[in-house]
């Protein structure tokens, strides 16, 4: 990764992705220690700025920062002066004035994290902006696939060529899908989007993907089935006549799970709506990597923060010396 910020998977390129995944291995090792913490970012402050609801992403970034011994500042739009009419720019400049090294930004509008870079000298990480991108989700997804491949076939490897990955659901409104399509195809995977026409982007020009509305036709050929939530807050629900019908045509039902290839993996970024995109019991099958994705999110976000803030001379992962 070259720049100071992480706004898009495109900022990383294939090499950058591989570098982050390797670094995440070190943080996985740290997580297994009795005190799962290293001093790498002692003295640095990481602020999480979430202007939109989140459970896992915010907690994941905060856990990642704490494992690096950074101080964490947490901002939540619903309890802030934004409610009193303060502008986004004034909010950012206020937080910047307190002296922060990184701002982790989530916002319902695409492009906000990029705007924020003009108003602060901190590193900015996009934690999900509108329908645009969610780069750390894509990184943790790649990490999880690489880990699972490693377990079934030896050493973890980041060459995904030959893998066919189906992304199923509300692709149109999904920043996760955009970042995942970029990252997975950079690593060599073939991506198939599976959705009703209304939930695909209006144009797929420039997307390195195939698309179909027939899940059953591709199901048996997929190595990974990646399910997406219907983005009700982004009009996804309005484009669907009926959720039961959606489940019948595009849901990963128990019957469909039974027709998956033997080693196929099931993934979902969460929050998962059981009974819509995935049958309740399918989410808990051994093939489902959902909780692993969450666990790996902490390792990958530690790697991103380390990479952006520790500098080239940063010691990778020394032992914590006890007083942190």
Stretch in the footprint of ligand NCD (CB under 6 A) among 111-119, 253-261, 265-273, 303-311: 265-273
* Helix, strand or coil, per DSSP, at residue 167: strand
**In the complex, minimum distance from the CB of residue 171 to ligand NCD, in angstroms, rounded to a whole number:** 12
List the catalytic residue out of 45, 48, 57, 158.
57
Beta-carbon contacts of 138 under 8 Å, excluding residues fewer than 6 positions away, are 9, 176, 179, 180, 182, 183, 184
The tokens of 179 are what? 């970042």
Q: Does 132 bind ligand NCD (CB under 6 A)?
A: no
Closest to ligand NCD by CB, 111 vs 314, is: 111
- Catalytic annotation present for 132: no
CA pair distance 279, 309, nearest whole angstrom: 41
Q: Does 144 bind ligand NCD (CB under 6 A)?
A: no
Closest to ligand NCD by CB, 219 vs 230, is: 230
- Catalytic annotation present for 229: no
Q: Does 111 bind ligand NCD (CB under 6 A)?
A: no
Q: What angle do CA 213, 294, 136 make, to 5 degrees?
A: 75
Closest to ligand NCD by CB, 166 vs 269, is: 269
The tokens of 273 are what? 């709506």
- Catalytic annotation present for 94: no
Q: Which of 5, 134, 256, 301 binds ligand NCD (CB under 6 A)?
A: 134
CB 69 within 8 A of CB 41: yes
- Catalytic annotation present for 57: yes
List the catalytic residue out of 22, 42, 56, 292.
56
Q: Which of 177, 269, 302, 308 binds ligand NCD (CB under 6 A)?
A: 269
- Residues 31-38: contacts with CB within 8 Å, 24+ apart? 31/67, 31/298, 31/299, 35/320, 35/322, 36/67, 37/66, 37/67, 37/68, 37/69, 37/320, 37/324, 38/67, 38/68, 38/69, 38/317, 38/318, 38/319, 38/320
List the interface residues with ligand NCD, window 194-233 (CB under 6 A): 229
Q: Does 236 bind ligand NCD (CB under 6 A)?
A: no
- Report which secondary-structure segment, H or E, holds 49: strand 45-50
Q: Does 56 bind ligand NCD (CB under 6 A)?
A: yes
Q: Which of 270, 285, 292, 295 binds ligand NCD (CB under 6 A)?
A: 270
- Residues that bind ligand NCD (rule: CB under 6 A) add up to a total of 11
Rg (CA), the chain: 20
Closest to ligand NCD by CB, 117 vs 137, is: 137
Residues that bind ligand NCD (CB under 6 A): 56-57, 128, 134, 137, 175-176, 229, 269-271
> Which amino acids are annotated catalytic?
56-57, 84, 106, 134
């Amino acid at each position: 990764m070259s720049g100071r910020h992480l706004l898009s998977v495109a900022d990383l390129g294939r090499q950058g992705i591989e570098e982050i995944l390797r670094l995440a291995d070190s943080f996985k090792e740290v997580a297994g220690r009795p005190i799962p913490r290293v001093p790498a970012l002692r003295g640095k402050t990481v602020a999480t700025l979430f202007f939109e609801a989140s459970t896992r992403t915010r907690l994941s970034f905060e856990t990642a920062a704490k494992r690096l011994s950074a101080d964490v500042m947490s901002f939540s739009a619903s309890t802030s002066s934004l409610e009193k009419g303060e502008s986004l720019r004034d909010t950012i400049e206020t937080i910047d004035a307190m002296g922060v090294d990184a701002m982790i930004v989530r916002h319902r509008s695409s492009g906000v994290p990029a705007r924020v870079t003009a108003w602060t000298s901190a590193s900015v990480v996009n934690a999900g902006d509108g329908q645009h991108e969610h780069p750390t989700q894509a990184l943790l997804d790649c990490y999880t696939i690489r880990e699972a491949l490693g377990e079934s076939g030896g050493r973890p490897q980041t060459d995904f060529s030959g893998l066919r990955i189906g992304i199923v659901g509300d692709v149109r409104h999904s920043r996760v899908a955009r970042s995942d399509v970029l990252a997975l195809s950079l690593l060599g995977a073939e991506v198939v989007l599976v959705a009703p026409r209304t939930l695909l982007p209006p144009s797929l020009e420039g997307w390195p993907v195939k698309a179909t509305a027939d899940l059953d036709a591709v199901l048996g050929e997929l190595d990974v089935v990646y399910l997406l939530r219907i983005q009700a807050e982004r009009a996804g629900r309005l484009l669907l006549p009926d959720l039961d019908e959606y489940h019948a045509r595009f849901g990963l039902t128990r019957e469909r799970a039974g027709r998956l290839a033997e080693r196929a993996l099931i993934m979902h970024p969460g929050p998962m709506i059981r009974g819509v995109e995935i049958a309740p019991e399918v989410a808990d099958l051994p093939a489902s990597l959902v909780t692993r994705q969450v666990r790996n999110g902490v390792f990958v976000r530690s790697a991103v923060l380390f990479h952006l803030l520790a500098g080239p001379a940063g010691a990778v992962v020394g032992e914590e010396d006890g007083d942190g």
